[in-house]
Structure formats: structure tokens, C-alpha cells
Chains A and B, each alone.
Chain A
Amino acid sequence: MDTYYRPEDLHKFSSVGEHAPRLWKKFSEWYAEVFKDGALDEKTKAIVALAVAHAIQCPYCIDAYTRTCLEKGATPEEMTEAVHVASAIRGGASLVHGVQMKNVIEKISL
């Protein structure tokens, strides 16, 4: 079955650099640096990336960082909690806009 997001396309990611190699090089170097051990270790960074992948709903990132999390030693329990964190922020972000709704109600109501 054909699909808009094909898993094998992830391996073509570097082809994005064909028409802007200098920018691709800078991105690649920065990206690699971001995920190295630092104030946060590689496992924690992978879990953060997984959570963000769910928040932005990027199928490539979900595939890639599910695997990366497992390869960094994250457990399914840790990963699931990270997805809940992403979901809570997404849900909370919608809900907190209820304040805007209330402001509008107050403004236009007698």
C-alpha cells in the first residue's frame, strides 16, 4: 500500500542537502553535536526527542527516536511516560486557551 510518509524515505534525508550543501553541512554538524552527552546525557536527549516527535507528530522522528531510545537503554515505561508528557503539554496548551475564550466571552457579553 502506498503512503505519503514512506519509512524508507528517511534514508534519503541527506538528499535535502543536494541544492544547499553548505546549509546541510551546518545542520548535520549542529544536529550531531546537539545529541552528544552534555549537561543532559544521550539517553535523556533521545527521550526528549521522542516526546517532541510526538508533539509535532513527525512519523520519521517517531520511527527514528523510538529506535534510538531503545538503543540508549530507555525502557518502554520511560518512553510511554515521555509521550504522556508531550500529550499533556499539547492538551494543556489547548485547554489554557480557554482563558482566551473566557476573555472574549467577558468582553462581548452583557
Chain B
Amino acid sequence: MEGLEGLRSFDDMLRESGLYPLRAEDVRILQMNLGSLCNQSCKHCHVEAGPKRVELMSKDVMECCLRVVDEHNIGCVDITGGAPEMNPHYRWLIEECARSNIHLMVRTNLTILTRQGYRDIPELLARSGAEVVASLPHYTEGITDRIRGRGVFKASMEALEVLNSLGYGEGELELNIMYNSAGAYLPPPQKRLEDEFREALSRHGVRFNKLYTLVNMPVGRFFSFLKGSGNLVPYMQRLVDSCNRDTISALMCRTTLSVGWDGTLYDCDFNQMLSLRCNSGAPYHIRDFCMEELKHRVITTGPHCYGCTAGSGSSCTGETT
């Protein structure tokens, strides 16, 4: 990255920690990115998703993913996007996943669930027993709408109420909230923030199970913001200074494999957006999946990886330490 030559490289940090090269330890989660199409264009989005994006995962690629999950007993499928609900094969995919014994996680921006043509989805998810991971940048309307657009907070509350009415947020149907900072700074401690969210959202009658905090990654639209606002170097320095070596063993890339809309394999969704495909001699397309070669693959790293080692660590399921 331009202007970051003075920063200690991630690989050097791994070398100093005796953990170079970074290797996967298994493939326990298959994260499927169904495409970049989204009804929102959030300022922090690392996917640069939006209503004009056209990349969408085909049914063929989905079938290939499900075959891999089945043949290799991968325990969890994590569905993301964009707004994955906007993929025309989304409902089929959810139903297929529900038929198997896997743990199904679906990510949602919430507002899509209130749109015409998508209001049946909460019921489908409840029927499928899917864990819902709903992104919500803040418990205040002002901050949420600043990042995601006017009206997003109210629509998000509406969607959360619908999910609650179906049993989400208590009992067996898990509803978790994904928080990311509203700027170039690290998220607050997860547990404390969860308490604040719980208290604030209870005033809207909303219940949820857990809150996950995610560090904003210097990728995609957030990278453009950092660069354009003169925050890139200070933010990267903050990530490097906050590097916590205890987080390395729990990095999500060590147990997750990310599949792009066209079936290309990546070590994580962030590498996917940087077009850094699995590149260690292991196959890099889902149709060539080979567990033996992939489960201990060398992971492709870059300066952005400091986002996952900052503070208490960061992952698609929150803090890692």
C-alpha cells in the first residue's frame, strides 16, 4: 500500500512471533459470498457493494459448494454478500442447507428484509434454523444513518422486530448483531458494547443474543475513505501498534475458506475483495476443492491482516481472544 513502506510488514511480525508462514489448520467453515449486489452502499463496505453491482453467484457454483460441504463434512456454511438475499438462488440455497445437518449462518443488512419481494425471508430463515448475523453499526439513529443512509436505522429496527416475532433473539433461533466502528478507530470492548446495545435496543423492544465487533478493514470503500481523508497512515499505524500476537492462533482464515461469486477460493472475504486468491499451490476454485491440500495451506497475507490482530482480535464472529 502506498505510503505504508515504513510500517513493519505482517509477515515480519509473524517471523518475529515464530509463526511464519501463516498456515490454515482446517476448513471448518465455508463462507460463500453470493455477490456484490446490495440495496445499500455503506461508507465502510469492504465489498464496495451496491445496487449497480452485477456479480452474482450462479446455482452451479452453489451446487458445487454444497457438494464440497457434504463430501468433506464441513460443519458450517456462512452466507454473505452484498445483500445475499438479492441473489435469485438464495431461497433455494437456504432450503438446501436446511436439509443437511450443518450449522447455517446468514448475514443480512436487515433493511433488505423490509423491502417488497424479500419480506418472506425472515420466515424462511426461522424455518431453516439459520443463525442470523445482522449488521448494525450503532444503536443510535444518527450514527447508523450517517454510515448507511437515511432511514436505515428505522428499517433495521423494523426488521429486528420481525425476527423477534418469529422467535429470533431468544431460545434456539440465534440473532447476533455485527458492529463495526463508525470511522478510523478500533471498536470498543465487545462485552461492554453488547451491554450498551442491549439496553439501547430494548427501548425499541428489540432482543438479540450476542454482539460481534469487527475492526474496519483497510479494504474497498473504507480504504478509499482512509486514503481520501488522510487517515490511511495513522489508521494503519494504529492497527500495527495494537497488534496482539495472542490473536494469531485464532485468526478466522485458519479455519475458514471463502468462496467468491464465481467459485474462486480465498483465505478470507477481505482477500477476496483484494483479488488475493488462495495462492500456495493449493487449488483455487471450488470445483477443484481438495481438502488435503487446502486444510494446511499457506495463507496469503498483507498489511490489511493487521485488522484481524488488533486489540482483542477481529473476525466475522467478533473478538477472537
Q: Write the residues of chain A forming the contact surface with B, with a CB cutoff of 8 angstroms.
A: 7, 11, 41-43, 67, 70-73, 75-77
Contacts and interface: CB of A to CB of B under 8 A. Distances in A.
A76 B181 CA distance: 13
B188 A73 contact: yes
Interface in B170-195: 181-183, 185-189, 192-193
Contacts of B187: 71
A75 B143 CA distance: 9
Contact of B186 (A41, A43, A71): A71
Main secondary structure of the interface of A (DSSP, over half): helix
A72 B140 contact: no
B196 interface: yes
B217 to A, nearest CB: 16
A70 B183 contact: yes
Contacts of B237: 11
B192 A70 contact: no
B188 A43 contact: yes
Contact of B185 (A11, A70, A75): A70
Contacts of A70: 181-183, 185
Given A73-B193, A75-B143, 12 more contacts: A41-B192, A43-B188, A67-B185, A67-B238, A70-B185, A71-B181, A71-B185, A71-B186, A72-B192, A73-B188, A75-B140, A77-B140
A72 B143 contact: no
B196 A73 contact: yes
Nearest to A67: B185
Contact of B188 (A7, A72, A76): A72
Contact of A73 (B183, B192, B234): B192
A77 B196 CA distance: 15
Contacts of A7: 234
Contacts of A72: 188-189, 192
A43 B189 CA distance: 10
Contacts of B185: 67, 70-71
A101 to B, nearest CB: 43
Contacts of A41: 192
12 contacts: A11-B237, A41-B192, A42-B189, A67-B185, A67-B238, A70-B182, A71-B185, A72-B188, A72-B189, A75-B143, A76-B143, A77-B140
A43 B185 CA distance: 15
Nearest to B192: A73
Contacts of A43: 188, 192
A71 B188 contact: yes
A11 B237 CA distance: 10
B5 to A, nearest CB: 16
Interface string B41-80: 0000000000000000000000000000000000000000
Nearest to A68: B185
> Interface centre among A42, A72, A73, A76, by most B CB within 10 Å?
A73
A71 B234 CA distance: 15
A62 B158 CA distance: 38
Nearest to B140: A75
A14 to B, nearest CB: 12
Nearest to B143: A75
Nearest to A8: B234
A104 to B, nearest CB: 48
Q: Shortest 8 CB-CB distances between A and B: which pairs?
A: A73-B188, A70-B185, A71-B186, A71-B185, A73-B193, A67-B185, A72-B188, A71-B188
A41 B182 CA distance: 22
Contacts of B188: 43, 71-73
Interface in B236-257: 237-238
Contacts of A73: 188-189, 192-193, 196
A58 B138 CA distance: 29
A24 B187 CA distance: 29
A53 to B, nearest CB: 16
Contacts of A76: 143
